[in-house]
Structure 1
Amino acid sequence: MEALAVRLSHLDSHVGGAIRVVAFYDTLMRRRVDLPALARASAGLAECVAGIRLHGTGQLIRMSPDGRQASAPPSPASSTAPITLDEEEIGTVWLERLSPPGPLDEVLLDRLAIAAAAVVERYGPARTTMADPALVELVISTGSDEAARARALRLLGFAADLPIRVLAVRSQLPLDQVGGLICPNRPVKAALLAEVGVILATTVNPAQFPAGVRAGIGAADSPDRSWRQARTALRFTTPRQPVVHYGDLGALALLTEIPPDAARDNADVAAITRMADSAEDLETLDAYCATGSLRQAADLLHLHHSSVARRLEQIAKTLDIDVTEPTGLARARLALITWRLLDD
C-alpha cells in the first residue's frame, strides 16, 4: 500500500494523499484502538479538533491536535460524516477547522466514520436500535428462564439494574426511528415479531410518538409481563387515542377476557355492529363517549352542538340507549370498546 501510494503521488498528489489516509486508518483498525485514540489520531492528522458523537449513548469525544481533550467551546464543524452500522446512523464524526475544509478532509472523515463503527461493534453491543429478533423474543417470552432472559438483555446492551419497559407498536415508519424518538440518548432496542413491533426501552416519552403510530405501553415490570400488558394496551388504541398505557386501563383490561362469541351476542355490541355501517354515526358516538359532553364533542367534530344533538338522537334510537344519561353513556362506551376489540 505504501509503495503504491508513493508511485501514485508522483502522478496525482491528491490521490497519493488519499491513499496515505486510508493506510493510516487501516493501521489504527489493525491495532484495535478505542474511540478516544481514534479521535486523538484524527486530530493530529488533520491538525485541528476532531470529534466523535454516538447517538445511542450520548458519548461525546473532542480531541485537539496536541493529543489532549479539547477544552475550548466547540467551533462550528467544518466537515461532518455519519457513522453507520447495520444500515443505521448511530453517530457523527466531524472536524472543527477554522479555515475552509482541506482537500483530504472528506476522505479522512469517511475513514474515521468506518473505523468508529468498527470500534462500536467490537467493544460492546451494537448501539443500533434494531436488534436480533431472537434475542428480543427471548427477553419477552413467558417460557424463558430468568438466567436466559438476563443474558439476552445483557447482549442487547441493557444494564442489569435498569428497569425495562416493553411496547407493542404498529407503525408504517421504521421501528428504529420510532425508538430513537421516544427514548433518545438512552438504551432502546426494537424488532418486528409476528407483524407487531416490539420496543424495549428504559424510558419512554409518549409525547414523542410520530403521527400515525399506535402503541401499547406495558409497566416497567418483568419484560414478559410487560409485553403481555403492552399487547393488551395496543388493542385499545384508536385514531383519537393512538398511545395507551396498560396502567391507565384499570378494569377495562378485563374486557379482553370476554369470549368473542359472548361479546357478539350482547345486544349493545350487536347494535354498535349494525350502526358501524355509518361512519358519521360511529365518529359522533366516539367523540361523545370520549368527552361525555355535547359541546366538547361538537368541538372535536368541528360541528355546531345542535347538529351533534340531532345525530345523538338518531344514534339513541338505533342503539335503543339514551346516551345522554349516565347509565346509557356507560353502556355505550363499554359496547363501543368491546366492539373494537372484536376487530383486533
Structure 2
Amino acid sequence: MEALALRLSQLDSLAEGAIRIVMFYDTLMRRRVDLPALARASAVLAECVAGIRLHGTGQVIRMSPDGTGASAPVPPPSCTAPITLDDEEIGVVWLERPGTPGSPELDALLLDRLAIASASVVERYGPARTTMADPALVELAISADCDEASRARALRLLGFAAALPVRVVAVRSQLPLDQLGGLLCPGRPVKAALVAEVGVILAARVEPGSFPAGVRAGIGTADRPDRSWREARTALRFSTARRPVVHYDGLGALALLAQVPQDAARDNADVAAVARIATSPEDLETLEAYCATGSLRRAADLLHLHHSSVARRLEQIGRTFGIALTEPTGLMRAGLALTAWRLLDD
C-alpha cells in the first residue's frame, strides 16, 4: 500500500507539473511573443539555460534562468526536441541542465511545447521555409520607392534578421532559382524570385566560386537592398560567356557606360563598327579574345590559333574600325566599343 501511495503521489506531482507547463505555453502563444521571449520564459520556467536554433537562418538564441543571454562556451544539451512545420524539421530546441535532470518527463514536455510555440512564431512572422519567395515581398525589399519601415518588414517576413547583411544578385539562368539559391548560400538565409523576367537572389552571403556553369550573374555590393539591386542589374549587363559573373565594385569607371543612352551609343562610329563585325562570329570571337587579353599571342592561345592567323584577323577588323588595333589607343577604343555594343538592348 505504501508503494502504491508513493506512485500515486508521484503521478499527481507529474500531472500538476504537466498542466502548469501546458498552461504556461498556451499563455505565451496567446500573447504572440517572439523567439527570444520564448527562450527567456522557457529558461526561467526550467531553471536552466534554454536554446532555440533555426536551420534556415542559422539563428541561435540561448537564454539563462536570470532572463539574460547565456554566455559561451556552449555545453552539450541535456535534452533536445525538433521544431517541425508542415512535416519539415526547421530547427531544434534544447535545455542545458547541469547534473542529473530532476524530471526527464517534464523536461521532455517543456521542450515539446517550446518546439510547438517556436514553430507557431516562425509560421506567423517568418522566415519562410523555402528558398523560393513571394515575388511581391522580394520586389518590395529591393524597390527604390519603398519606405524603410516597409522594407524592413518585407525582409523580416523573408527571413532576414534586422542585423543580418543582405546581398542582392541578379541572374539569368536555366537552373531553377531555388536550386541556384541553395548553391550560392548553403546553410544561410537565401530567398529567390523572378522579378521583371530577371532572377533575384537575396542572400546573407554569396560564395564567390559557387556559381555553376551556364549562369550569368551580377552581384551588388551596397548595404541597402535597393541600391544593391540597382548595382546587381548593372553588373549583369556586363556579364559575358567569358566573364559570366560580374561584381559591381569590379567595374569601376566602366559602370558609367551603362548610363549612356542607347541611341547615342548606336550612333557612335566605333560601336557601329562592332555591330558590323558581329555579323561574323569568327571575327567577333577574335575581337573579344584580343580585348580580354590585351595581347595578340595570349589571344591566339585563348582561341587555339597560330598568332599569325590572329594577326591577320585583327588587321582586317582594324580596317573595319579604321584604326590599328595593335596600338594602345586602338585597343582601348575597341574594348570600350565592344562593351558599349554588348549593353545595347540588354
TM-score range, shorter chain: 0.5 to 0.7
3-state SS of the aligned residue for 2:258? Answer: helix
Question: CA-to-partner distance for each residue in 1:275-326, whole Å, 9 max, x for gaps?
Answer: 1100000000000000101121112111122221111111111211211111
Greater Cα offset, 279-288 or 302-311 = 302-311
Matches within 5 A, 1:58-77: 68=79
Checking the alignment, whether the CA contact within 8 Å between 1:56 and 1:184 is kept in structure 2 is: no
C-alpha deviation, 1:54, in angstroms:
7.6
Q: Which amino acid aligns with 1:56?
A: G
In the alignment, the residues of structure 2 paired with residue 141 and residue 122 of structure 1 have an alpha-carbon distance, to the nearest angstrom, of 24
**Residue aligning to 1:342:** 344
In the alignment, the residues of structure 2 paired with residue 296 and residue 145 of structure 1 have an alpha-carbon distance, to the nearest angstrom, of 50
Is the aligned partner of 1:140 residue 2:142? yes
Q: Which amino acid aligns with 2:260?
A: I
Give the TM-score, by structure 1 length.
0.67
In the alignment, the residues of structure 2 paired with residue 246 and residue 59 of structure 1 have an alpha-carbon distance, to the nearest angstrom, of 29
Greater Cα offset, 298-307 or 121-130 = 121-130
In the alignment, the residues of structure 1 paired with residue 250 and residue 86 of structure 2 have an alpha-carbon distance, to the nearest angstrom, of 37
Q: Which of 253, 264, 267 is residue 269 of structure 2 equivalent to? A: 267
Higher gyration radius (CA): 2
In the alignment, the residues of structure 2 paired with residue 183 and residue 174 of structure 1 have an alpha-carbon distance, to the nearest angstrom, of 15
Q: Which amino acid aligns with 2:141?
A: V
Is the aligned partner of 1:287 residue 2:262? no
Matches within 5 A, 1:33-44: none
C-alpha deviation, 1:55, in angstroms:
6.1
Aligned positions, number: 259
Question: CA-to-partner distance for each residue in 1:208-240, whole Å, 9 max, x for gaps?
Answer: 101111111111421111111111111101011
In the alignment, the residues of structure 2 paired with residue 242 and residue 84 of structure 1 have an alpha-carbon distance, to the nearest angstrom, of 38
**Residue aligning to 2:218:** 216
Matches within 5 A, 1:1-344: 56-57=56-57, 68=79, 121=123, 124-344=126-346
Question: CA-to-partner distance for each residue in 1:20-70, whole Å, 9 max, x for gaps?
Answer: xxxxxxxxxxx9xxxxxxxxxxxxxxxxxxxxx98634699xxxxxx8469
CA RMSD in angstroms comes to 3.4
C-alpha deviation, 1:260, in angstroms:
1.2
In the alignment, the residues of structure 1 paired with residue 229 and residue 343 of structure 2 have an alpha-carbon distance, to the nearest angstrom, of 18
In the alignment, the residues of structure 2 paired with residue 190 and residue 196 of structure 1 have an alpha-carbon distance, to the nearest angstrom, of 11
CA gap of 1:54–1:280, structure 2 versus 1, over 3 A, is farther
Checking the alignment, whether the CA contact within 8 Å between 2:218 and 2:235 is kept in structure 1 is: yes
CA gap of 1:280–1:84, structure 2 versus 1, over 3 A, is farther
In the alignment, the residues of structure 2 paired with residue 123 and residue 166 of structure 1 have an alpha-carbon distance, to the nearest angstrom, of 22
Identity of matched residues, %? 76
Unaligned runs of 5+ residues in structure 2 are: 1-25, 27-52, 61-77, 92-115
CA gap of 1:143–1:58, structure 2 versus 1, over 3 A, is closer
CA gap of 1:313–1:84, structure 2 versus 1, over 3 A, is farther
C-alpha deviation, 1:206, in angstroms:
2.4
Checking the alignment, whether the CA contact within 8 Å between 2:126 and 2:156 is kept in structure 1 is: no
3-state SS of the aligned residue for 1:343? Answer: coil
Unaligned runs of 5+ residues in structure 1 are: 1-30, 32-52, 61-66, 71-82, 93-114
